[in-house]
Chains A and B, each alone.
Chain A
Amino acid sequence: MAADEDRQTMAALAAGDRQAMALLIRRHGPGLRRFLTGVLTTPHEAEDLAQETFLRVWSAASRYDPALASPATWLYRIALRLAIDRNRRTGFRRFLGLEAVPDPQDPQPGAERDLAARQVLARTHQALSTLPGRQRQALLLRAAGGLTTAEIAATLGISPGAVEQLLVRARAALRDITSGELE
């Protein structure tokens, strides 16, 4: 059902309908942000990269082939490629000593709640960073993006069986690392 709606949205996007873009963002924006937050080595860049992903989708919508992949698979594949590229650049920037200083903490009301959220994010990110790349990507595609096993397999270019194995290992490792905090 959602996949059918996505396909209609993609057809509208290819025709240049901006309302379709708003619809796509409403449907996939939250999951995509979460996915990028987990997969990027610099989580604060997730918003920027989510924008970049949707702009790429817009410019390439006419080339989308529904016979090859579901819209969600296509969207997350674009996001994953962008994230891998961004991580590579960030690594090189760190090597050169050019990586930007993290944002200062916000002194506005509500900053305490934000601080708590940031601490949870930092712990989660630290735990995720200990997982092998494929395990982390598969787990985030499922947990953040809500993709099916088949869609994850298509996004990562591996078999559904391999995806299931990655998910089982990733969850077990994460449970050990966080001592059940993420339950």
Chain B
Amino acid sequence: MDAALARALYAGAEDIAPLSRAVLTRLVEPSKPVRLPLSEVLVQPLPVAALFLFLLGLAALSGYLAAPAAPDEISVIAELLGLGN
């Protein structure tokens, strides 16, 4: 069964010349910098997500620091409900 399974998986697996040629060619070629397509960036979203969260935090902090001193929450709610002076 193991042999039948192996045969079914890759009919031309014994012909290793293309694989050997490809690997040895890549060994002698100088490695080129890889420019990832957008899809690869989306597949690995952690750096982009981290940047987004950092910018979000920065914006929140700037907003907090730039905002004038706010009245207390009770006064704001009372004003919204029309109960204020």
Query: CB within 8 Å of B: which residues of A?
Result: 18, 21-22, 25-26, 29-31, 33-34, 37-38, 43, 46-47, 50-51, 54-55, 58, 89, 92-93, 96, 98, 117, 120-121, 123-125, 139-140, 142-144, 171, 174-175, 182-183
Bound Cα distance from A125 to B42, whole angstroms = 28
CB interface residues, B 24-68, toward A, < 8 Å: 24, 26-28, 39, 42-44
Q: How many A-B pairs fall under 8 Å by CB?
A: 98
Sample of 5 A–B contacts (CB below 8 Å): A25-B16, A25-B20, A89-B44, A96-B43, A182-B4
Query: Known: A34-B10, A51-B22. Is A182-B5 also a contact (CB below 8 A)?
Result: yes
Q: Complex formed: what's the CA distance from A89 to B40 in Å?
A: 9
A29 to B24, CA, bound (A): 13
6 new A-B contacts, CB < 8 A, other than A33-B19, A51-B22, A124-B9, are A30-B16, A31-B6, A55-B23, A92-B43, A144-B6, A171-B1
